[in-house]
């Protein structure tokens, strides 16, 4: 049996899944976190549901892979016996360099590190994990799958910012878009669900999770998306506020805020959490239902922002065949889906209340039979897509 090891690394964590790419069966999964701290933590899950948790010091990403390999051994499934055919790495920022999954050699690894100047929170940790994984698994191909790659098809008018073009050029300032792997797999699965060729479809994919972004997909290609130069632009998210007048940042800088304070404010102190103190949509919804005004306002701003992008993308696509909800909030919160789609009958968008409330978890239709636009819920699965793209590249 050949399987694909999918790695999703951060600066201080490594998440992994071992996937049988044809069936998408999870053979194992786990996480090593708090790398570099006095006490780290490993969680390893086997396919039979057994779970091991361990507290252990993990010095760096190389040590993290050693811990992962040891966990497979203890579970009675040594990696040597698992037939790992390739390793797929999630990489957040591929810049304008990478528009497709790419086999990693020394040059590609160096380019991923270099792109860290555009994504300092993500690429450096992912590069460390790539170096460590190539050391630990030298005999198999390693493939980088970029969050930005799917959006490289955006036309220039969608990705260019209207600033001094020399400054933009020198500093790589343009819109890249993120969540591309999710938008790609979800738009493909939506087409499969509808039984129609993706080339014939105009789709608006709403990835509403902890991070959130919208994507206009024409014939299977991204033509616009709400995240931009970084994953801060666009929709309201758990701890990020999305669109903000850059003049507000200039004002805060002049008022004495340091760059690191602004970074914390924008990445970790805004969005749902900025309004309510929690970034978890379930808690915000519960508070709003219990009469909390700030929580109600947070949800109202959240839905308003999604609707603004929905309107923009209906125009950009010249109408839509499908609106597709995905990720933690989009897949699970029926009330929010109803709020987003309310009053859009003129556009041919009509939700069926009981379909929307259905406890089903798979891909499903929530629009009414007389809705001109199909409204769907399609679960995302970025890891399975990384495994699929890795396998497609290495054969």
- Residue ranges that bind ligand AMP, judged by CB under 6 A: 209-210, 238, 280-282, 327-329, 332-333
Nearer to ligand AMP, 285 or 388 (CB): 285
Nearer to ligand AMP, 24 or 37 (CB): 24
Residue 147 is among the residues annotated as catalytic for this protein: yes
Residue with tokens 């959130």: 212
CB 77 to ligand AMP: min, Å: 27
Catalytic site residue from 47, 48, 147, 352: 147
Nearer to ligand AMP, 72 or 178 (CB): 178
Task: Quote the CA–CA distance of 281 and 236 in Å, as a whole number.
Answer: 11
In angstroms, what CA-CA distances link 205 with 144, 181, 298?
23, 12, 22
In terms of phi and psi (left: phi > 0; alpha: psi -120 to 50; beta: otherwise), the region of 36 is left
DSSP 12-30: SEEEEEEEETTTTEEEEEE
CB 150 to ligand AMP: min, Å: 17
Contacts of 296 (CB under 8 A, 6+ apart): 288
Nearer to ligand AMP, 137 or 281 (CB): 281
DSSP 166-185: HHHHHHT-S---S-HHHHHH
Strand ranges for 13-75 from DSSP E: 13-20, 25-33, 40-46, 51-56
CB distance 310 to 323 below 8 Å: yes
CB 203 to ligand AMP: min, Å: 19
CB 333 to ligand AMP: min, Å: 4
In terms of phi and psi (left: phi > 0; alpha: psi -120 to 50; beta: otherwise), the region of 193 is alpha
With 0-12 CB in 10 A as exposed, 13-18 as middle and 19+ as buried, what is 219? middle
CB 75 to ligand AMP: min, Å: 25
Nearest to 45 by CA among 65, 15, 24: 15
Which residue of the chain is nearest ligand AMP when measured via CB? 328
CB 187 to ligand AMP: min, Å: 17
Contacts of 259 (CB under 8 A, 6+ apart): 253
Nearer to ligand AMP, 65 or 302 (CB): 302
Nearer to ligand AMP, 280 or 345 (CB): 280
CB 274 to ligand AMP: min, Å: 14
Nearer to ligand AMP, 348 or 379 (CB): 379
CB distance 49 to 99 below 8 Å: no
Nearest to 91 by CA among 115, 58, 59, 67: 115
Catalytic residues: 147
């Amino acid at each position: 049996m050949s399987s694909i090891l999918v790695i999703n690394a951060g600066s201080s964590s490594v998440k992994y899944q071992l996937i049988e790419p044809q069936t998408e069966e999870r053979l194992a999964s786990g996480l090593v976190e708090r790398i570099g701290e006095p006490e780290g933590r490993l969680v390893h899950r086997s396919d039979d549901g057994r779970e091991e948790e361990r507290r252990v010091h993990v010095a760096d990403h190389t040590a993290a892979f050693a811990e992962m390999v040891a966990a497979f051994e203890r579970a009675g499934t040594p990696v040597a016996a698992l037939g790992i055919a390739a390793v797929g790495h999630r990489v957040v920022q591929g810049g304008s360099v990478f528009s497709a999954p790419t086999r990693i050699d020394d040059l590609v690894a160096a380019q991923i590190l270099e792109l860290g100047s555009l994504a300092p929170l993500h690429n450096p940790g992912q590069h460390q994990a790539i170096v460590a994984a190539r050391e630990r698994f030298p005999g198999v191909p390693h493939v980088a799958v970029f969050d930005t790659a799917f959006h490289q098809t955006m036309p220039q008018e969608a990705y260019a910012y209207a600033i001094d073009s020399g400054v933009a050029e020198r500093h790589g300032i343009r819109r890249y878009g993120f969540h591309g792997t999710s938008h790609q797999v979800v738009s493909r699965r939506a087409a499969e669900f509808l039984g129609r060729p993706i080339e014939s479809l105009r789709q608006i994919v709403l990835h509403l999770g902890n991070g959130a972004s919208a994507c206009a997909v024409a014939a299977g290609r991204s033509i616009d998306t709400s995240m931009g130069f970084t994953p801060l632009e666009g929709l309201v998210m758990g701890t990020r506020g999305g669109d903000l007048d850059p003049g507000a940042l200039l004002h805060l800088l002049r008022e004495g805020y340091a760059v690191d304070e602004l970074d914390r404010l924008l990445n970790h102190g805004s969005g749902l959490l900025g309004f309510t103190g929690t970034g978890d949509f379930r808690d915000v919804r519960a508070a709003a239902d219990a009469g909390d005004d700030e929580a109600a306002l947070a949800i109202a701003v959240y839905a308003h922002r999604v609707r603004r992008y929905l309107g923009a993308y209906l125009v950009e696509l010249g109408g839509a065949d499908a609106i597709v909800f995905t990720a933690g909030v989009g897949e699970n919160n029926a009330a929010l889906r109803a709020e987003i789609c309310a009053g859009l009958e003129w556009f041919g968008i009509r939700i069926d209340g009981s379909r929307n409330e259905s406890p089903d978890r798979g891909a499903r239709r929530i629009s009414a039979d007389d809705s001109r636009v199909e409204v769907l819920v399609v679960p995302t699965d970025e890891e399975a897509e990384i495994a699929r793209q890795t396998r497609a590249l290495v054969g």
